[in-house]
Every structure is written in structure tokens, then in C-alpha cells.
Chain A
């Protein structure tokens, strides 16, 4: 019993769970690449359709930025879920179910960084 516990700990305790779409990480990466292709090809059409004041290069950089935000994820199910959400966004953008403001929200999203030193925390309010 000690030996089986040791082997289980040594193997990293991998659980087998029901996948969403892809069975392993390579399939999930393939889906990500397909989604990236679709967004890359869609970016200039979006800029024209919604009459945005940005260039195609800026739109493509923003697409790359959104993909890079989730670069670190390794769980195939999480990747599948993110791909599904990305596909939903793409569908809404292609069919013009969104409006200009929704598309520009990708660009104006700013998070104010949390204060680190005591005085900034004091000015912001008591936030332990």
C-alpha cells in the first residue's frame, strides 16, 4: 500500500476527467490556432464594418494581446472553454450583433494598479 501511494505521488496524481472537446493539450492548441487564424482574418473586416478609428495593425496587436493573456494555461478543458468564449465573441463581431462601443471596449479596458506602499493605500482608503 505504501508502494502504490508512492507511485501515485511519483506520477503526479493525474486524474482522468471528461474532456470538453479536446482530449489532450495538442488538440487544444490546434483549436487555439484555428481561432487565432479566424480572428486575424476578421480584424480588417471589423475595422471597416464598424468604422473604427484604429488601424488593422492595432486591431491585430490587440487580438495577439488577448491571446497572450491566457498563454500560461495548460489544462485542456480550460483552454477549450476559452476557445468557446472566443468563438462566441467572433460570431458576434462578424454578424454585427455588437456595436462600435462593444468592440472598442477591448481597447479602453484599464485596471488601476493596486497600491503597494503604505501612503498610496492610505490615500485610497482602508483596504487591507
Chain B
């Protein structure tokens, strides 16, 4: 999304005159700085000229915060399945959203502990053991994480 805006900026600036050649370098660096989910800023800097770009760059003494993209249930599901496919004790062809770790995939209770720890590392929050021992399918893991992170349809 931001990459598309950036390429549009670069194309529109390269189409302008050679006098603005230095300005396009400034615009590219400024739009690279503003790449963090701030489409409006980069659009504004693209539509204006080089001088305006410099002025707007100086006047944009605003604070920019970094952060993760907002989680959705599909995104959680994708990440969970990605991590499970990377696990070497699981056959990635047999893996589905509803496959039980112990009954379908033939894993151990300690393997399930390892999987829950991998989920903890992926999503960055602790899953206590009392709740973790009940999470036996990828579906349940996705539901638990969505519960904990307050994500709902």
C-alpha cells in the first residue's frame, strides 16, 4: 500500500522537468521516512512540487510512532498455520485447521508444549499452562489468541 504510493511518487517526479531532479531525491528520501502507514502524507508530498516538498518536510516535525498492523482473525490463522508448517514433527500436507495434535497428527504432550511455546514467541505474550494444556487444534489456538487480544468479527 505504501510501496504503491511511493512508486507513484517516484514516477510522477521523474516525469517532471530536470530542474526538479534534486527535488525528486529529496522526495524519495522523505517518502521513505514517511512509509509507516501514512499514505496521506506521502500523497501530499508527491502532488506538490519540489520546493513544497522541502517546505512540507521541514514543517512535518511531527512524531511518528512505529507499530504492528492491526490483527485480524485471518491474519492470526495464517501466522499460526505458518508456524505449524515450519515445525519439523508435523507433516505439512496433513495439517488442517481442525487437525487434533494428539489424535490426528500423532504428537506428544511435550510436542504440544513446544507448539504452544512457538505460538508464545510468535505473538509475543505468555500463555499460562492451565489454558495451554487445553489447546489441541490450530482452531482453538486461533480462538484463544483472538480472545486474549480482543479481536472479533
Contacts and interface: CB of A to CB of B under 8 A. Distances in A.
Nearest to B116: A37
A68 B117 CA distance: 19
Nearest to B114: A40
A34 B117 CA distance: 11
Contacts of A36: 110, 113
B129 A64 contact: no
B89 to A, nearest CB: 11
Secondary structure type dominating chain B contacts: helix
Q: Indicate the size class of the contact surface on chain A.
A: 10 to 19
B79 to A, nearest CB: 21
A83 to B, nearest CB: 13
B133 A41 contact: no
Contacts of B132: 33
A64 B133 contact: no
Contacts of B114: 40
Given A37-B117, A40-B117, A67 B129 contact: no
Interface of B: 109-110, 113-114, 117, 129-130, 132-133
Given A36-B110, A37-B113, 12 more contacts: A29-B109, A30-B129, A30-B130, A33-B110, A33-B113, A33-B129, A33-B133, A34-B129, A37-B129, A40-B114, A40-B117, A41-B117
